[in-house]
Amino acid sequence: MDVTAIVMAAGEGTRMKSNHAKVSHKILGKPMACWVIDAALEAGCNRVVVVVGSHSDEVRALIADAYEGTPHASAIECVEQAERLGTGHAVRTALEATGINAGPVVVLNGDLPLIQAQTIRTFAETVSGGAHAGAVLTFTPPVPFGYGRIELDADGGVNRIIEQKDCTPEQNAELLECNAGCYAFDGALLAAHIGEITNDNAQAEYYLPDMVEILKSHGHGVTIFHCDDYRDGLGVNSRVQLAELTAIARDRINERLMTEGVTFIDPAQAWIDPDARIGRDTVVWPQTHLIGACTVGEGCQLGPNTRLTDARVGNDCVLDETVGIDVVIENGVTCGPRCYLRQGTHLLDRAHVGTHVEIKKSTIGEGSKVPHLSYIGDTTMGSDVNVGAGSITCNYDGKNKNATVIGDRVFIGSDTMMVAPVNIGDDAITGASSCITRDVPSGALGLERSDQRILEGYTERRRARL
């Protein structure tokens, strides 16, 4: 079944009080529009048309950033709604720009980030058999105020949609089926009749819900599709709702991970990206954040206070108060507390990075240790190296970044400055507080240190002068 999804992402979102498009605001690190697009793709929609308008360049850019180079890139296209003349006008613009005129068409709001793939898949099926020309996605939220209500006819079809402001007190109390603002249509009938929507209303806009009456007037049936999980129908119109839906998304993700064998010390204090993957028997401590496409293996300890972005972590690692951005961490690695792993860092099996250590664009070899108070940048380090406290690779000369190469089983004395470019051979040693500016051969001691002078009685003489 070929299904097209039209994602409405052209709105201004004035209640967000933002300089950015509403659908660009993120939930757990992912823009809202991408949540909806991902759900549509997972549902099997072979074509996703995103209608952009307000902040169109921004929305196009975030979609390109998310999907260019992926298998789904060819299925997604953006259509510009130059004039925002209502939801009916947006859908008509999409149809005219793309030539869609067949198959089920689901119209989804870009600010509905919690809608699930299974909901979209089944929603589309309601108009695939010919029995119905259209369907309205409905739900029953705990607090229905603010949502349009669905009045059903005797056969269970849609009689009419009543906006909240037009509901009588009795209708507010009795009509609990709410309109989620999403619609499914037979594509051929939608294309044939979309032009019949008029703007004869106070706002002079073309409203997509008018398609319900139009299709019925032509003798076609319109039904409802009720969300089993009311959270699928919740939208974002304010910063408060953004926070509320973020918490719901967090809970959904963490609940799924717990059913897969992950332990959360406090699920309410762990924020996991929907694209992240965590292996069984891993323990997630409070204030842990996984952002982007992170993968974490089995038997790890994450946190507390750990933030990983687009990181790949192996099995049996301990990452305590660790920040890692675009890094690869192999098996049995220990990090922290309070270490910073910058882009391009690669920690091999059993490596250790300790307290107040920063590593950038470097490989730390198997079993090697950078225990505390050090900076390692643009470095290739061999296995079983020990780096003493306060040691630094001086990789930047004011113009270029230069490389440091450290061999296997090297002992770097505390407070060693390694001025790159420099090579330190296997089994070499550097003396504490040395400034290494030349290569150190394998098995050699590199020592740079001024002779210590002792001036007896200096303190008394100094006091006498003051």
Tokens matching residue 40: 């549509």
**Residue 155: per-residue pLDDT:** 75
Does 360 show up as a binding residue in the annotation? Answer: yes
Does 67 show up as a binding residue in the annotation? Answer: no
Does 402 show up as a binding residue in the annotation? Answer: no
In this predicted structure, which of 94-108, 142-156, 298-312, 396-410 has the lowest mean pLDDT? 142-156
Does 111 show up as a binding residue in the annotation? Answer: yes
- Over 80: is that where the pLDDT of 163 sits? no
Does 432 show up as a binding residue in the annotation? Answer: yes
Does 299 show up as a binding residue in the annotation? Answer: no
Tokens matching residue 320: 């305590």
Does 179 show up as a binding residue in the annotation? Answer: yes
Spatial distance between the Cα atoms of 376 and 391, rounded to a whole number of angstroms: 8
Does 118 show up as a binding residue in the annotation? Answer: no
- Percent of the chain beyond pLDDT 70? 100
Residue 166's pLDDT band, with cuts at 50, 70 and 90, is confident
- Over 80: is that where the pLDDT of 228 sits? yes
| pTM given for the model | 0.89
Residue 11's pLDDT band, with cuts at 50, 70 and 90, is confident
- Over 90: is that where the pLDDT of 385 sits? yes
Average pLDDT over residues 378-382: 98
**Residue 264: per-residue pLDDT:** 98
Taking only the tens place, the pLDDT of each residue in 179-202 is 899 999 999 999 999 999 999 887
Distance set, CA 299 to CA 24, 65, 334, 361, 437 (Å)? 35, 33, 13, 26, 42
Reduced to 3 states, what is the DSSP secondary structure of residue 464? helix
Taking only the tens place, the pLDDT of each residue in 102-156 is 999 999 999 999 999 999 999 999 999 888 999 999 999 888 777 888 888 877 7
**Residue 439: per-residue pLDDT:** 98
Its CATH architecture, for the domain 3-233, is Alpha-Beta Complex (3.90)
Annotated active-site residue 372? The verdict is yes
**Residue 198: per-residue pLDDT:** 93
**Residue 463: per-residue pLDDT:** 92
Can you identify the CATH homologous superfamily of domain 255-446? Hexapeptide repeat proteins (2.160.10.10)
**Residue 147: per-residue pLDDT:** 81
* Cβ-based burial of 194 (10 A; exposed 0-12, middle 13-18, buried ≥19): buried
Does 401 show up as a binding residue in the annotation? Answer: no
Does 199 show up as a binding residue in the annotation? Answer: no
- Percent of the chain beyond pLDDT 90? 84
What is the residue extent of each domain of the chain?
3-233, 255-446
Residue 392's pLDDT band, with cuts at 50, 70 and 90, is very high
Taking only the tens place, the pLDDT of each residue in 22-57 is 999 999 999 999 999 999 999 999 999 999 999 999
Residue 299's pLDDT band, with cuts at 50, 70 and 90, is very high
361, 367, 370, 375: CA torsion to nearest 10: -10
- DSSP class per residue in 298-336: SS-EE-SS-EEES-EE-SS-EESSEEEES-EE-TT-EE-
Point out the catalytic residue in the list 289, 346, 352, 372.
Answer: 372
Spatial distance between the Cα atoms of 307 and 39, rounded to a whole number of angstroms: 26
